[in-house]
Amino acid sequence: MARVDGKVAIVTGGASGMGAADAEVLSREGASVVVADLNEADGRAVAERVGGNAVFMKLDVTDEANWQQVIARTVEKFGRLDILVNNAGVLAVGTVVDTTLESWRMINAVNSEGVFLGCKHAIPAMVESGGGSIINMSSVAAIHGQSFVAAYTASKGAVRALTKNVAMYCKEQKNGVRCNSIHPDGVATPMIVKVATGKDTASEEDIEKLRHVENICEPVDIANLVLYLASDESRYVTGAEMLVDNGSTITPPVGV
């Protein structure tokens, strides 16, 4: 249907999981896609698999200069920037008591500061293109809290709040840039499987086992919402927090 035909997108964390699915769906619907990730081997493989106008660019989302380079290279190559999917993220298990300051800072640097840097430097480029759509990946943890991932919960809460701040700023500036957040529950990705299994790495077999145990969300389910928010179909949607959680946030705790 070419729902994002002619648009140019950067997808962070594009080497695997939700980011890879986002890149595939956006490319299929007509966008030129920059697969941005630290993982060069898998990132290049995703760009090659996606085909079309997909390219890989190495990006450390915690590095401001790297952000500036990637955005400048994107505009130089494709002539514009219309879509930013701030998808890159990390997760570590730990309560507020167990979490080390080092872990806290690392997780917030990637999940929170990385999103801030993406928004900060993408907005001027999008304004030059006549507007655009920023899609920030948050989590249901930002809404109802998850005690076993304190740093992750805090970082995703920051993403939720920053999204609304960016949306309001852009509305006030009348610059044509929209910003929304997506809040998935557990998704069948290597990161979630590693947490569920306690393994350092997650194989496709591990992911398949998790699928059979639970009715778990698939990366493409998130990518389909990314596509909507990236397209002009959502031109009147900004500052929204979009739940993809099978009702988990409205399900009362056991015993209540």
Residue 152 is among the residues annotated as catalytic for this protein: yes
Say which residues have a Cβ less than 8 Å from residue 247's Cβ, sequence separation at least 6.
Answer: none
Tell me the C-alpha to C-alpha distance, in Å, between residue 14 and each of 1, 25, 39, 43, 255: 23, 12, 9, 6, 40
Q: Which of 152, 169, 228, 236 is catalytic?
A: 152
Residues 251 and 254: their CA atoms lie apart, in Å, by 9
Scanning the structure block, which residue is given the tokens 């778990």?
216
150-173 vs 114-128: helix crossing angle, rounded to 10: 20
Which positions are annotated as active-site residues? 152
